[in-house]
């Protein structure tokens, strides 16, 4: 695959995803997830924040020692101690990367960091130079970039690149951007820095439900790495969902021209592994990996799918490792789906009996929320076939 046309997938399930309130993964769980991400051919796995706790240090070290094809990253503030910890945890990785960050928006610099812009620039210089003296891959993130002053942000990124950063990340830390605005913002930041020999990256949060849309907009503007998480986990409303961005790029190749190279057939399995280990259920209506993502209930839809799946499915369930399309029988279902179900159960009914069975079935739908195939089987055997022919 031509590198120009590849979007690098940076998975941060094990770092930003784990920052979701209520999630706490142990070392073994993190390792299991990391190995599945590697099998799926994720380009970068952010394994954790080594300076955050000794448990996270050990987890990052363990993943760094066992993952061999994906790049393994560890997060660090620009502080020397954090970078040192990240280095120690990552140093045996086949392809290690230190990911260092500092906030650049006026509100974060004044109230959180209590630093002047000059002091922040100095931190960037020292942090990135130190990280780069330790390893050849260094990502620098300007936290809250989307609310930063553009000229200052460009200066920060130029400084990071001069000090050796190989990836420059533009986070929409609080999920405040909207797609049109973010596309222009990213385009202008890249142009203002004049830097081309780095990988431009974005990291979008989902506070307004726009993380995937903003990531796609950023790709149009020149970003070539997207940071994301399985099931969209992460701080507050979460991050860009990996399965959604990957399938959006694949399904709308006509609009994006870029490939991720991921083995998308593994998406469902990885999503359910992460769901089990985090205890965060996947909502049934979740795009791509929700239980209903390929389920059809309304009669008109079921008829369409029975004639040609593409009437109501824009992806093949097999391409994301889903069990397949499902026609769910309910009060909105029509005769076509009902007939198919009856035939699948091994019955062959005359038109009259089928109409009679359909009426009984609709009646049952008003009394029972979920109709199983056993219900239909019993209904046909006891009430249709048992009566006069």
As a whole number of Å, the CA-based R_g of the chain is 25
What character string, x for contact with ligand KIV (CB under 6 A) and - otherwise, covers 125-144?
A: ----------------x-x-
Which residues does residue 326 pair with via DSSP β-bridges, in sequence order?
295
Binding site partner of 143, from Zn ion, ligand KIV, none, Cβ cut-off 5-8 A by kind:
ligand KIV
296 labelled ligand-binding: no
82 carries a ligand binding annotation: no
Q: Which does 141 bind (CB under 5 to 8 A by kind): ligand KIV, Zn ion, none?
A: ligand KIV
Phi, psi of 375 (to 5 degrees): -60, -45
| Interface with ligand KIV in residues 195-234 (CB under 6 A) | 203, 205
Q: How far is the CB of 235 from ligand KIV (least distance, A)?
A: 7
Identify what 101 binds: Zn ion, ligand KIV, none; CB under 5 to 8 Å per kind.
Answer: ligand KIV
Q: 283: which DSSP letter? A: P
Q: How many CB atoms lie within 10 A of CB 382?
A: 10
Which residue among 13, 78, 105, 173 contacts ligand KIV (CB under 6 A)?
Answer: 173
Taking CB atoms, the residue at the shortest distance from Zn ion is: 16
Contacts 24+ apart (CB under 8 A), 17-22: 17/229, 17/230, 17/231, 17/233, 17/234, 17/238, 17/239, 17/274, 17/278, 18/48, 18/233, 18/278, 19/234, 19/235, 20/233, 20/234, 20/235, 20/238, 20/278, 20/280, 22/279, 22/280
Residue with Cβ nearer ligand KIV (169 or 225): 169
Residues 85-104 that bind ligand KIV (CB under 6 A): 101
By CB under 6 A, residue 155 contacts ligand KIV: no
Is 16 flagged in the annotation as binding? Answer: yes
Among 9, 11, 13, 16, binds ligand KIV (CB under 6 A): 16
- Enumerate the known binding-site residues for Mn(2+): 16, 203, 205, 239
């Amino acid at each position: 695959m031509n590198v120009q046309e590849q979007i690098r997938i940076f998975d941060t399930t094990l770092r930003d995803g784990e920052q979701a309130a209520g999630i706490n993964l142990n070392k073994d769980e993190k390792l299991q997830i990391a190995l599945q991400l590697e099998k799926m051919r994720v380009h970068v796995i952010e394994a954790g924040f080594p300076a955050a706790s000794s448990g996270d240090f050990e987890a990052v070290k363990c993943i760094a020692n066992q993952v061999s094809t994906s790049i393994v990253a560890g997060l660090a503030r620009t502080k020397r101690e954090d970078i040192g910890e990240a280095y120690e945890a990552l140093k045996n990785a086949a392809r290690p990367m230190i990911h260092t960050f500092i906030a650049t928006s006026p509100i974060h610099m004044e109230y959180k960091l209590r630093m002047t812009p000059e002091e922040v620039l100095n931190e960037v210089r020292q942090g990135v130079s130190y990280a780069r003296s330790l390893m050849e891959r260094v990502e620098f993130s300007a936290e809250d970039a989307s609310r930063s002053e553009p000229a200052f942000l460009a200066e920060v990124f130029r400084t990071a690149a001069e000090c050796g950063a190989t990836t420059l990340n533009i986070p929409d830390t609080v999920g405040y951007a909207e797609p049109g605005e973010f596309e222009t913002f990213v385009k202008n930041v890249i142009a203002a820095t004049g830097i081309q020999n780095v990988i431009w990256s974005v990291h979008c949060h989902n506070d307004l439900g726009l993380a995937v849309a903003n990531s796609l907009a950023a790709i149009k503007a020149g970003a070539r790495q997207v940071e994301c998480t399985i099931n969209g986990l992460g701080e507050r409303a979460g991050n860009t969902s990996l399965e959604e961005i990957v399938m959006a790029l694949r399904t709308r190749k006509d609009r994006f021209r870029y490939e991720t190279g991921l083995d998308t057939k593994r998406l469902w399995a990885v999503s359910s592994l992460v769901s089990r280990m985090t205890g965060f259920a996947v909502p049934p209506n979740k795009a791509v990996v929700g239980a209903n993502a390929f389920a059809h209930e309304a009669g008109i839809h079921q008829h369409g799918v029975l004639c040609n799946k593409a009437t109501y499915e824009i992806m093949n369930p097999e391409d994301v490792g889903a069990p397949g399309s499902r026609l769910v029988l309910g009060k909105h279902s029509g005769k076509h789906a009902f007939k198919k179900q009856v035939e699948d159960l091994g019955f062959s009914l005359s038109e009259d009996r089928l109409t009679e069975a359909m009426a009984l079935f609709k009646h049952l739908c008003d009394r029972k929320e979920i109709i199983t195939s056993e219900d239909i089987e019993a209904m046909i055997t006891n009430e249709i076939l048992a009566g006069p022919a």
